[in-house]
Structure 1
Amino acid sequence: MALELKGIIPPMITPLTANGDLDEKGLKKLIEHLIAGGVHGIFLLGTNGEAPSLSYALRKELITKACQYIEGRVPVLVGITDTSFSGSLDIAAHSKEAGADAVVVAPPYYLPISQAEMVDYLERLIPQLPLPTMMYNMPSCTKLHLSVETLKKAQELGAVGIKDSSGDMSYFYSLVEAFKETPEFSIIVGTEMFLPETILYGGHGAVAGGANFFPKLFVDLYNASKEANTEEIKKLREQVYYINNTIYRVGQYTSRITKGTKCALSVMDICEDHMAMPLQRFETKEREKVRHYLDQYNSLRV
């Protein structure tokens, strides 16, 4: 049976302890929280998962434990993007062995590459992968904005979808147009505010970071979008807008989104909020702001 990628697939954060080990208790609670919220899949080792900052050993431990806890209830996607080609293959092989359902591939970061070099890379990589492949367009972190032509080549090689985190709606429309004859190629966005437009204009879902702490909100917004329920979309999008303008704006630097997400989960007593180096978790003042925003959000929904 073909893997169907759709709906809300949270880019799960990686729960860590103070000494940098995997927070196993928190991981289990987080997975149960996500599944209880109705998510359609879980994406491990993405940007919010701090993948590049984790050792290979810790990545493998996370994959193994997460797959054990999820027990096949939802598809598991694993990010294998790495500066090392063999490193990507190693994590992909471990993901297969652990029971994951797909791997996610973005351009190797650090060294800038061209579209032609990316195609050559995919021609060598995808045939060696043991699981279905989803592409990941994250130009802010990889220096390369995947072209439609590159993605068409990826699809020819066997890729089953694209997660686009460029935030470029015109690019999204070009994706829908390019793949309209192949609806089995999933178009998933990473920009939470675009979820309704994504579904209404032919996309398949969202890898929404906010679904780490409010999974049901994003699942409800996805369902409302599928039903074209404009009143419900408006109400739910206001809640997503609130998150974007409060929890995601605490602290400095672009790392505040991942920090805020982890902090919210800690305040909700789901898992610890320690970060992988070089990042550090929020201090008390910032943590209290997140707590205040969560309390305010809950009071607004009553």
Structure 2
Amino acid sequence: MALELKGIIPPMVTPLNADGGLDEKGLEKLIEHLINGGVHGIFLLGTNGEAPSLSYALRKELITKACKYIRGRVPVLVGITDTSFSGSLDIAAHSKEAGADAVVVAPPYYLPISQEEMIDYLERLIPQLSLPVMMYNMPSCTKLHLSLETVKKAKELGAIGIKDSSGDMSYFYSLIEAFKETPEFSIIVGTELFLPETIIYGGHGAVAGGANFLPELFVDLYNASVAKNLEDIKILRNKVAFVNSSIYCVGKNASRITKGIKCALSVMDICEDHMALPLRKFENKEREKVKEYLDQFAGSQVA
């Protein structure tokens, strides 16, 4: 049976201990929190998972243990993007062995590459993968904004969908239009506030970072969008907007979103909020601010 990617698929953070090892207890609690919140899949080793900062050994440990804890209850997607071609193949093979359902591929980061070079890369990579492939457009981190032609080529090679985190709504609409005759090719948005438009105009779901700590909110917004319930969409989107303008704005560095997500999970006693170097977790002042915002949210002061 073909894998169907839709709904809310959180880009799960990687729970870490103070020594940089995997926070196994936190990992299990986080997975239960996500599944109990109704998510439709879990994406390991994405941007919020700090994948490039983790050793191959730790990435493999995360994949193995996450698949064990998830137990096939929702699809598991694993990011295999790497500067090393063989490194990507190695993580992909391990993902298959561990029981993952798909892999996610973005352009190799650091070196600037062209669309032609990316297509050549995919022509070599995809035939060697034993799991379905979802493309990942993240130009702010990879230096390449995947063109529509590159995405079409990826589909020809066997890709089953794309997650777009460019924040470019015009580009996103062009994806929906280009693949409207092939609804089995999933169009997934990475910008949380775009979720209602994504669903209403023919997209399939969202890889929403905030669903790490508020999975029910994003699942409810997805369901309201599917039902085209404009009144519920307005209320729920306002809550998502509050998260974007509060928790995501604590701290002054670009890393504040991932830090804020991890800090929120720590405040909720779900997992540790230690970060992989070069990032560091929030100090007490920022943590108290995150707690204050969570308390406001929980107190139904956001409408």
Residue 258 of structure 2 corresponds to residue 258 of structure 1: yes
In 2, the alpha carbon distance for the partners of 1:133 and 1:254 equals: 28
The one-character-per-residue Cα deviations of 1:95-154 (angstroms, maximum 9, x if unpaired) are: 000000000000000000000000000000000001000000000000000001000000
Q: Which residue of 2 aligns with 1:164?
A: 164
The one-character-per-residue Cα deviations of 1:175-221 (angstroms, maximum 9, x if unpaired) are: 01110111100000000000000000000000000000000000000
Q: Which residue of 2 aligns with 1:2?
A: 2
In 2, the alpha carbon distance for the partners of 1:126 and 1:232 equals: 41
Q: Which residue of 1 aligns with 2:119?
A: 119
Instruction: Give 1:283 shift.
Output: 0.2
Amino acid at match of 1:111: L
Q: Which residue of 2 aligns with 1:70?
A: 70
The one-character-per-residue Cα deviations of 1:205-261 (angstroms, maximum 9, x if unpaired) are: 000000000000000000000000000000000000000000000001110000000
Q: Which residue of 1 aligns with 2:25?
A: 25
In 1, the alpha carbon distance for the partners of 2:153 and 2:300 equals: 47
Residue 203 of structure 2 corresponds to residue 206 of structure 1: no
Q: Which residue of 1 aligns with 2:222?
A: 222
Q: Which residue of 2 aligns with 1:295?
A: 295
Q: Which residue of 2 aligns with 1:136?
A: 136
In 1, the alpha carbon distance for the partners of 2:184 and 2:152 equals: 13
In 1, the alpha carbon distance for the partners of 2:37 and 2:273 equals: 20
Cα RMSD over matched residues? 0.7
Amino acid at match of 1:62: L
In 1, the alpha carbon distance for the partners of 2:172 and 2:19 equals: 41
SS of alignment partner, residue 63 of structure 1: helix
Q: Which residue of 1 aligns with 2:105?
A: 105
Aligned length: 302
In 1, the alpha carbon distance for the partners of 2:252 and 2:46 equals: 21
Q: Which residue of 1 aligns with 2:79?
A: 79
Instruction: Give 1:301 shift.
Output: 5.6
The one-character-per-residue Cα deviations of 1:15-39 (angstroms, maximum 9, x if unpaired) are: 0000000000000000000000000
In 2, the alpha carbon distance for the partners of 1:151 and 1:187 equals: 11
List gaps (5 residues or longer) in structure 2. Answer: none
In 2, the alpha carbon distance for the partners of 1:300 and 1:103 equals: 38
Instruction: Give 1:300 shift.
Output: 1.9
In 2, the alpha carbon distance for the partners of 1:165 and 1:32 equals: 26
SS of alignment partner, residue 300 of structure 1: coil
% identity of equivalent residues? 83
In 1, the alpha carbon distance for the partners of 2:52 and 2:62 equals: 14
Q: Which residue of 1 aligns with 2:13?
A: 13
SS of alignment partner, residue 162 of structure 2: strand
In 2, the alpha carbon distance for the partners of 1:301 and 1:92 equals: 44
SS of alignment partner, residue 32 of structure 1: helix
Equivalent residues in 2 for 1:139-288 (5 A)?
Answer: 139-288=139-288
Q: Which residue of 1 aligns with 2:94?
A: 94
In 1, the alpha carbon distance for the partners of 2:253 and 2:117 equals: 31
